[in-house]
């Protein structure tokens, strides 16, 4: 065990790989539901655009507009999904609760190296550093099971810890 804060000599218990994995699954289910709700208007736009193409009957301008509508809706859906995930993780991990709903359900929180709450900027950096963690066969995530402080690569990049409350 390591000391988080030398003033009050608190013992810290790091969150291991499997606890973090279960928290991720809970968060993924929640984000899946949020994504479904967000996607409904975009799916409607895609269907409308597809019907526009079907009704075109050789009108190239109408066909072009239908294709542009589909591509625009897909682009906006991808953008909305990325923004929703980023805001979910960054806002919640920078909040007073210091964790997402999945982490809260398992009694985990994200801190800086001294055990303090992280800023929105650091939470944002941690979120986007997860891209690097997942790049090569998820090795950046897996190393959390083998490092002294149970840190994944994105935790190391953002100078964060995930600990048990």
Q: pLDDT digit string (tens) for 6-33?
A: 555 578 999 999 999 999 999 999 999 9
Residue pair 148/63 in contact by the 8 Å Cβ criterion? no
Specify whether the backbone of 2 is left (phi greater than 0), alpha (psi in -120 to 50) or beta.
Answer: beta
Supply the pLDDT for residue 1. 40
pTM value?
0.87
% of the chain residues with pLDDT over 70: 95
Residue 136, Cα to own-chain centre: how many angstroms?
18
What parts of the chain have a pLDDT lower than 70? 1-9
> Which residue has 């090795």 as its token pair?
139
Supply the pLDDT for residue 8. 54
Specify whether the backbone of 24 is left (phi greater than 0), alpha (psi in -120 to 50) or beta.
Answer: alpha
Backbone angles phi, psi at 98, to 5 degrees: 60, 30
Residue pair 94/119 in contact by the 8 Å Cβ criterion? yes
Q: How far apart are CA 121 and CA 57, in angstroms?
A: 51
Query: CB atoms < 10 A from the CB of 62, how many?
Result: 14
């Amino acid at each position: 065990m390591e000391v988080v804060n030398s003033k009050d000599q608190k013992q810290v218990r790091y969150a291991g790989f499997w606890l973090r994995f279960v928290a991720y699954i809970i968060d993924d289910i929640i984000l899946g539901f949020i994504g479904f709700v967000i996607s409904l208007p975009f799916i409607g736009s895609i269907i409308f655009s597809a019907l526009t193409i079907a009704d075109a009957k050789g009108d190239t301008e109408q066909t072009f507009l239908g294709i542009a509508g589909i591509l625009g809706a897909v682009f906006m859906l991808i953008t909305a999904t990325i923004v929703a995930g980023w805001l979910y993780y960054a806002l919640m991990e920078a909040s007073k609760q210091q964790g997402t709903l999945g982490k809260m359900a398992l009694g985990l929180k994200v801190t800086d190296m001294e055990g303090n709450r992280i800023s929105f900027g650091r939470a944002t950096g941690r979120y986007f550093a997860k891209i690097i963690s997942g790049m090569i066969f998820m090795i950046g995530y897996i190393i959390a099971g083998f490092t002294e402080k149970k840190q994944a690569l994105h935790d190391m990049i953002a100078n964060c810890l995930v600990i048990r409350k």
